[in-house]
Structure 1
Amino acid sequence: MYLADRLLLLLAALLALSHGQLHPQHNGEGHTNSSHQQVPGTGEDSPSLRIAPANTKFALRFYHLIASESPKKNIFFSPLSISAALAMLSLGARSHSQTQMLEGLGFNLTELSESDVHRGFQHLLHNLNLPSGELAMHVGSALFLNHDLPFLPKFLNETMAFYESRLFHTDFSDTVGTTQRINNHVKKETQGKIVDLVGKLSTDTLMVLVNYVYLKALWEKPFIASRTTRRDFYVDESTTVQVPMMLQDKEHHWYLHDRYLPCSVLRMDYKGDAAALFILPNQGKMKEVEEVLTPEMLMRWNNLLQKRNFYRKLELHFPKFSISGSYTLHQILPKLGFSDLFSPWANFSGITDQLNLQAPKSFHKATLDVNEAGTQAAAGTSFSSRFLSVPNNHRVLWFNRPFLVVIFSTSTQSILFLGKVVDPTEP
């Protein structure tokens, strides 16, 4: 069946703004801007490619912080969802708060204007949401607005034009009903995979911004389910778990063994505009590999894995698993330079000039399901002299110890999902 046999990848992020109350400016439910600006085509200087380096840089900064705080735990998140949500929110920020948010996302505003950033996300989201018979992807945002507060038309129009956001007016004094409404919307948009994103809302909440990514993808070279068997997975020196281990031994794959780093890298393509890099450190060498996980290294690996001499027949053993990640962004982002965002000094006067809005909380959830039919990954630049493939004899690659996952859109060079699988039996 189409729905049952594909990879499920998705994310939802939540930002809530609160303080005060007041008067309706817009009516309607879930409306979007019908007069979208024309979105430029793809090309080497397309708007989405111009923002890709900053998005990659932010993704890895976020990853390194999470990994340093929880070195022995699974990690999985969507940097695209977090970046898009923050960039969208910056449309309503002013003065130092706006600059801090965009620079925190990795943008050099002397090289890329604020307008360039938003046009880049507009182009990126437009391309990711293009219909495809091979890849099911849905990236979207929604603003839940207090029906009594006069939101500035410029903010609402720009969020719809650049981020294709849907607008919902609701009564935040009914905290139970509004919470249920938001959770039902996210559940629907993510095909039931993200549930209960929002806990109980505060009675002074005036606006909630939700961003979600839903992705289903088929492997270009699927595994055969009947060949999956239970095998050991070595979490660390003292912990071994049993996992369903998938097997391929007649296919060619893009892979390499790094000559100077203790790891192997496998590129797995999906049908459609997506691919994945799976980075497998040698036993006990995860920290060494994480230390060199930079945008430049991802580019080198990805570029190398498009060269024919790295396309070889491989006996591949890969786990079937499901993991998830939940993150309280209001505790994480201040450590990444967003010091004003969740403080009383934040300036969101571009959203409404009636009240001093604050963003007290922000949440992010993501889940990943990998099975015989599907999975995805990152971006690249070459340096072939630094790497050697495995010897020309029987090539075997066992993903039976912790590894990294980078899932990316090939046309936009944007990381969609990033993570680390430490224990595939931990949901």
Structure 2
Amino acid sequence: MTSPFFSRGLILLVGLCCLLPTTKTKYEKLYEDSSIDPFQCRKVALTVCNISITLFREMARLSANGNILFSPIRVIAAISMLSLGANGNLSKHILESLRFNKTGLPEAEIHKCFRYLLRPIHYSEEPSSLKSRSSVFIHQGLTSVDKFVKGVKDLYHSDIISINFTDSSRAKTQINNYVMEKSKGEIANMVKNMESDTFLAVVNYIIWNAKIFNNSGCRSVKMKDYHLGHGMTIKVPMIHTVGMNYLFRVEDLSSMVLSFTLLDVNITTYFILPDIGKMQKVEKSLTYPHFRRMRRQLSLSQMSDLDTPELSLSETHDLESVMSLLGITYVFNNDANSSVAMNDTVWKSFKVVSKAVLTMDEKGSRLGTNSCFKNDGSVDVTRVQFNRPFLIFIQDQTNDAPLFLGRVVNPKNYP
């Protein structure tokens, strides 16, 4: 007799690396699905945006001085997917903790909206810099729950793969090799360890290398000082541009905001630079409506002289802790009568790892090249240097899905 699908342990591994979305034309092709209402799905995207700010504030409270980086759409989608394998009470608990009950949408429609929101980052025309995949590894002796399997495939764009978890070390190697192969070698050792009683693994990754460009052709890259705080300064590659940029001030955040244009993609990127000494105040007061108001200011541009660091960030989060921050504790309660990881059995193991990696550099620049014009004083140029900690928010303009949110303290994780 086979074991119930959710009777043993669960390991969820969400690998997030630098994202490269598709072009607008590709998006339009992907969204040709008459069963999905984009307007309704924007309610889900808005909810993800709002809760991601709440989650960020909690992360910032726990880590006052380090880098923070995560992909809200990937983290929230991973948690939402868990509700597919839960009973009614637990499924309701998870979705309510994610505030999806406030959308007014039935549970089935919420999951269908993730199909809409995730599709652009799962599928792209080849060849493409986009590499994204989600796979569920199920122990070959387990009986599958049809609702979960169908939902994983159809709604969350995941493959179902049978694997023998009896030898946990070998299973870990198989999963790591699988991820290495599918990611074209860009993700190594996805699984660091695996408990002997693990019977389910979900591996989810997305890779993107962003290229920033400036239409003025006035740009250069030089090694310059970056101030980490507490009197510490390091040298990092800084992109220097002079030209028309979307640069504006948000007074109630005591911050300058820069919006970058990313090559051939329909994405809005915000760099938020708090005034000196105001970072914690900004983090505590930040809300998603701030970003909605910022978006309305993107019709305004001004001549600016900018220094922004090249980025190469990598952050790993224990998603179990993330769920606890969101109030999803029932899943980890041994007294619960049902959960995604057990079915009237003793709790075994539950491990969740989320990795986010983001790289951004300047397209076509050469170290030390300087083609910028010399200002004779006749033009009012705003000088802004992102040479100290700042916040970053990246959003898909097509469906409003939040792709990245974080705090940049050390732009290249230098020691």
Q: Give the shorter-chain TM-score range.
A: 0.7 to 0.9
Change (3 A) 1:203 1:359: closer
Instruction: Supply the AA of the counterpart residue of 1:137.
Output: L
Note the alpha carbon deviations across 1:80-131, whole angstroms, 9 max, x for none. Answer: 1111111111101113211121122221257122112101101112233453
- The one of 266, 276, 282 aligned to 2:258: 266
| Secondary structure of the structure 1 residue equivalent to 2:100 | coil
Q: Which moved more, 1:311-320 or 1:69-78?
A: 311-320
| Secondary structure of the structure 1 residue equivalent to 2:143 | coil
**1:254-293 correspondence to structure 2 within 5 Å:** 254-270=246-262, 271-293=264-286
- The one of 344, 355, 365 aligned to 1:365: 355
CA distance in 2, matches of 1:248, 1:315: 6
CA distance in 2, matches of 1:368, 1:223: 25
Q: What residue number does 1:7 align with?
A: none
Change (3 A) 1:58 1:210: farther
- The one of 139, 147, 163 aligned to 1:146: 139
- Is residue 334 of structure 2 the alignment partner of residue 344 of structure 1? yes
Change (3 A) 1:128 1:347: farther
Instruction: Supply the AA of the counterpart residue of 1:261.
Output: L
Change (3 A) 1:396 1:297: same
- The one of 55, 60, 85 aligned to 1:92: 85
Q: What residue number does 1:422 align with?
A: 409
| Secondary structure of the structure 2 residue equivalent to 1:108 | helix
CA distance in 1, matches of 2:256, 2:395: 19
Q: What residue number does 1:252 align with?
A: 244
Q: What residue number does 1:405 align with?
A: 392
Q: Which moved more, 1:152-161 or 1:60-69?
A: 152-161
CA distance in 2, matches of 1:110, 1:53: 9
Q: What residue number does 2:310 align with?
A: 320
Q: What residue number does 1:168 align with?
A: 161
Following TM superposition, by how much is the alpha carbon of 1:177 offset from its aligned partner in structure 2, in angstroms? 1.5
**1:65-214 correspondence to structure 2 within 5 Å:** 65-108=58-101, 111-131=104-124, 136-214=129-207
Following TM superposition, by how much is the alpha carbon of 1:49 offset from its aligned partner in structure 2, in angstroms? 1.1
Q: What residue number does 2:374 align with?
A: none
| Secondary structure of the structure 1 residue equivalent to 2:332 | coil
CA distance in 2, matches of 1:373, 1:17: 47
**1:6-45 correspondence to structure 2 within 5 Å:** 19=8, 39-40=33-34, 45=38
Change (3 A) 1:345 1:224: farther
Change (3 A) 1:421 1:133: same
Following TM superposition, by how much is the alpha carbon of 1:153 offset from its aligned partner in structure 2, in angstroms? 2.1
Following TM superposition, by how much is the alpha carbon of 1:265 offset from its aligned partner in structure 2, in angstroms? 0.5
Instruction: Supply the AA of the counterpart residue of 1:317.
Output: D
CA distance in 2, matches of 1:134, 1:267: 28
Q: What residue number does 2:22 align with?
A: none
Instruction: Supply the AA of the counterpart residue of 2:350.
Output: P
Q: Which moved more, 1:174-183 or 1:365-374?
A: 365-374
- The one of 389, 395, 399 aligned to 2:382: 395
| Secondary structure of the structure 2 residue equivalent to 1:228 | strand
CA contact (8 A) 1:151 1:352 kept: no
CA distance in 1, matches of 2:254, 2:396: 27
Instruction: Supply the AA of the counterpart residue of 2:246.
Output: W
Q: Which moved more, 1:190-199 or 1:151-160?
A: 190-199
CA distance in 1, matches of 2:357, 2:107: 31
Following TM superposition, by how much is the alpha carbon of 1:417 offset from its aligned partner in structure 2, in angstroms? 1.0
Note the alpha carbon deviations across 1:57-92, whole angstroms, 9 max, x for none. Answer: 221122111110111001111111111111111101
Give ranges in structure 2 of 5+ residues lacking alignment.
Answer: 11-30, 365-378
Instruction: Supply the AA of the counterpart residue of 2:273.
Output: L
Note the alpha carbon deviations across 1:346-377, whole angstroms, 9 max, x for none. Answer: 56567886867766211111111121129xxx
CA contact (8 A) 2:209 2:360 kept: no
Change (3 A) 1:347 1:60: farther
Instruction: Supply the AA of the counterpart residue of 1:320.
Output: E
Instruction: Supply the AA of the counterpart residue of 1:255.
Output: L
Following TM superposition, by how much is the alpha carbon of 1:221 offset from its aligned partner in structure 2, in angstroms? 2.8
CA distance in 1, matches of 2:213, 2:128: 11
CA distance in 2, matches of 1:336, 1:20: 22
- The one of 227, 233, 251 aligned to 1:240: 233
Change (3 A) 1:364 1:401: same
CA distance in 2, matches of 1:107, 1:20: 26
CA distance in 1, matches of 2:249, 2:155: 41
Note the alpha carbon deviations across 1:133-157, whole angstroms, 9 max, x for none. Answer: 8974344321000000111222211
